[in-house]
Amino acid sequence: MTEDRLTTLYRMYGPVIYARCMRMLGDRSTAEDATQETFIRVQRHLDKAPESAQALAWIYRIATNYCLNEIRDRKLRPDLPGEIPEGASAPLETILADRDLVARIVKRSPEKLRATAWLHHVDGLDQGEVARVLGSSRRTVVNRLAEFAENARKFADRSGA
């Protein structure tokens, strides 16, 4: 019976999870591996899987965490130049509006901020949606986004110097 549930979840959400992994990792092969690993983890914890209305958010969170760990483990930090929009005086809103730049900053951010910042600034989820996906409070999301914004400002200042 668990195999039927896993198959159903994969058929329903596999393409969405693959697209998510592709956006985060930028490589088809790596995204396929991440999708497979996500559903292996889903199978391991199938007894904890919420019902259909919440299942996508749960699987999405597993995929997001896996991809963020994969990005961290690539050890690409030396290859991440600190390119920012024209000079260090760029307003924070301009910096955070650039999804590619935010993605680079997310990769350099403390682990506790990564998923929150990625979901909000790169995927465009509002604070309430981020809180639901991560299973945290909206207040926690607001605080982590504020901390991320401060880190982004410092990154921009260092990069423009």
Across 80-107, average pLDDT:
61
CATH class of 83-161: mainly alpha
Assess contact for 66 and 17: CB atoms under 8 A: no
Token pair for 72: 């961290």
Which of residues 119 and 159 earns the better pLDDT score?
119
Across 67-83, average pLDDT:
63
Q: Domain coordinates of the chain in residue numbers?
A: 1-74, 83-161
Assess contact for 88 and 159: CB atoms under 8 A: yes
Residue 152 has a pLDDT of 80
Sign of the torsion angle spanned by Cα atoms 157, 128, 26, 36: positive
Over the stretch 113-124, which tens digit does the pLDDT of each residue have?
888 888 888 777
Across 45-61, average pLDDT:
87
Residue 93 has a pLDDT of 67
Architecture of domain 1-74: Orthogonal Bundle (1.10)
Residue 88 has a pLDDT of 43
The pLDDT of residue 75 is above 70: no
Residue 90 has a pLDDT of 56
